[in-house]
Chains A and B, each alone.
Chain A
């Protein structure tokens, strides 16, 4: 197998790179004595970029690859399961296509994780020592799980087609369970630094479980779990887009168009509940300490949340844009094009509400005219009541775009079609009115009640999505088809929208990762271990943006290598240019060559299946 041949080279390169970095770090240790730092601090410096920036970039890169490695098996497993249950081989091939990206990414994740650990030990020995004291019990299961992760991941990837489907699915399931457990353990360490728990006033450990189960541990676990899927889906979609743009045949274009669509579908599905998880995280941070909450939402970092709002608004816009462009490849979708302008208007209004800062950047004259840095009209859009309402409506709008896409080539044949549409419309109308009402009502109640109002807002939106989907399933049962989906017939700009989504997701992860860590300000462990290093200050927003941007660029450079290496597995084996003498030719495959069982990608141009539709067909068949 090509991967087999390449892997030792890759591993050697990784080890060499690691050794090089360790050499730099230990070299510095040899000639640079630790700084004398007051209190609990004890530091060494990283040449050129400084310790903080070095750790910042490495931690973020590690996190990005880890997120990808954890996310891909989740949806690969689901797609493989759909293929197994429906008997449709194309799902199996698609799942394999996604899984191809894992092997190299896993190596990168491990290498960056090792670099992060070395960096902590060498550059921040006192902090590392303290964290080790608190979490010493968690390191053994972490390492063991990491071994299992490697075993399950490689057996899942290399064992594709080698095991019975059930055994293979079991391997995938175990890979997901182990990966999630690893993430939960690592999350305990980092969340403890933000909201330390299970320690006495002097910072001595009183309960390991309380230290693990700190205020933001579970919110971060859930938030990262969902965000990883969104991120992984977006990167998978970008891979599909990359292959689509380089495709030479209609079959290839069709396959990678489908792959991009599925990746985007996964990303959007995960994106929809993400703001709710983020809100829960924010509530817990505020509950732990108002100072952290204010730093985050109203203080130093509040401007980064405006950038976050702009990025998320762009994500929703791009996700809808892709769906609208995708409707171009469906015969019958023309009927729904007229709705696009209304959806776009709603998205734009919600985007504007979400991106409106509470205190505005204004000149002295402008501020005087407004009577302060709050505008009397826009002021109301700057707080969470307005933001929650906007994001709920954004989610509903995106869902409507998907609904239109879903029914683009279908015509309901059931007798109650009109009534069904009316009920669906009524649900939307009632929920929109309810969400807006709660948003406005939030201005007239105390803060605790206002925070509580977000729950009925979220639940009503979820209710609308579930109820309308259920009605839609029955509404379009035995629907008449107006035409097929012409996979591959999609403008190139749709693929750039997928790249945009992937880059925006990554940028957003980098930005919010910085916010999550940076809100501790001059604390390593908030309120327990003070940062006394030369970096004990909050960098300017511009500098933080620069570091995040450079990290994103480095990540995509690495990702380009992943895409390139993953693409090699589909290439033909190397052969000399001049044909060998007849007696030297053989039809026997090389011992480690690509197995003959490797599925040839010859999907149909039209009629590639929708995973949701296939799953529903399967459920219907069962019922």
Chain B
């Protein structure tokens, strides 16, 4: 968050409120415009890292709808707003500001076009599907694993034999730091030493919206099959994840999954019970 920018916007709003109530009577249309600009500035410059332009456009569309609803929810206020616009465009006393507006609007559009055109070329924005849907089952070392029903075979040891569970966790740690941390980082934040070479960046497992949302069988599939095993839908996936089935055994993959959850402190999503 850019606290100073946000504080400046709030201060400006308070100042306009004071001026608007004590000296100049601002109508609802004026307040609408002020709020629209304030929110646009807050979203564009008040948040760090900056929001993508697509999300700002989405938010501002919602804000615009809401402000229009507010303006037109009261017939008297709507009439006043309409009269304000008509008088601004027709009355002689507004000639100078009208001329300024007539010149400024095309200039602003021109400036926007110029600034867009002078940007260095870059690929268009794209929406990435984060969680590819897994297949119903996969083949691993000649065995079929049903992903809808498969459980981590060592998960129960957590209760029944904590010592054995700790060994699997330790094994998972070893495997992680031998194979995974180069990309996913030593804190599992997706900031390993190779991470800067990838687009998109490797997954951040500390994020509460990644592995804590998923079942262990899903992780098994992603680790075992990697990018080559991703489904045909929603392509291109743009993933550099290797197919670890070529390097790790089934037990090693389950162990590293245990370590991922133990390290981050998240619980895997349980397999579905409702019905």
Contact = CB atoms under 8 A, between A and B. Distances in A.
Given A383-B208, A521-B133, 5 more contacts: A287-B274, A324-B74, A364-B199, A372-B190, A447-B213
A538 B233 contact: yes
B147 A359 contact: no
Nearest to A442: B208
Contacts of A298: 129-131, 133, 213
Interface stretch (A58-66, A174-182, A289-297, A545-553): A289-297
Interface string B38-49: 000000000101
A374 B207 contact: yes
B54 A360 contact: yes
22 contacts: A290-B269, A300-B129, A300-B133, A303-B129, A310-B62, A324-B74, A351-B66, A352-B62, A355-B62, A357-B55, A359-B127, A359-B130, A362-B126, A363-B123, A364-B123, A370-B49, A371-B49, A372-B204, A373-B200, A375-B49, A445-B267, A521-B133
A495 B228 CA distance: 54
Which secondary structure dominates where chain A touches chain B?
A: helix
A286 B58 CA distance: 28
B83 interface: no
A22 interface: no
Given A321-B69, A377-B1, A378-B51, A290 B270 contact: no
B118 interface: no
Interface of B: 1, 47, 49-55, 58-59, 62-63, 65-66, 69-70, 72-75, 122-136, 147-148, 190-191, 199-201, 203-204, 207-209, 212-215, 217-218, 232-234, 266-275
A340 B55 contact: no
Which secondary structure dominates where chain B touches chain A?
A: loop
A275 interface: no
A447 B215 CA distance: 9
A370 B53 CA distance: 12
Nearest to A369: B49
Interface residues of A, number: 74
Interface stretch (A86-94, A341-349, A592-600): A341-349
Contacts of A113: none
Interface of A: 215, 283-284, 286-292, 294-295, 298-300, 302-303, 310, 313-314, 317, 320-321, 324-325, 328, 337, 340-341, 344, 347-348, 351-352, 355-380, 382-383, 443-448, 491, 493, 521, 527, 537-538
A534 to B, nearest CB: 15
B69 A294 contact: no
Contact of A380 (B65, B131, B209): B209
Contact of A366 (B47, B53, B66, B269): B53
A313 B125 CA distance: 25
Nearest to A321: B69
A356 B61 CA distance: 13
B262 to A, nearest CB: 13
A446 B212 contact: yes
B131 A299 contact: yes
Contact of A290 (B62, B70, B147, B274): B147
Contacts of A286: 272
Contact of A361 (B123, B125, B190): B125
Q: Which 9 A-B pairs have the closest CB atoms?
A: A287-B272, A446-B267, A298-B131, A447-B269, A362-B52, A295-B133, A299-B133, A361-B127, A361-B54
A294 B133 contact: yes
B200 A367 contact: yes
B129 A289 contact: no
Given A298-B130, A298-B131, A447-B267, A360 B201 contact: no
B43 to A, nearest CB: 10
Contact of A284 (B75, B213, B275): B275
Contacts of B272: 283-284, 286-290
A362 to B, nearest CB: 4
Contact of A291 (B129, B134, B271): B134
A243 to B, nearest CB: 22
Given A351-B62, A372-B204, A360 B52 contact: yes
Contacts of B74: 324, 328, 337, 340
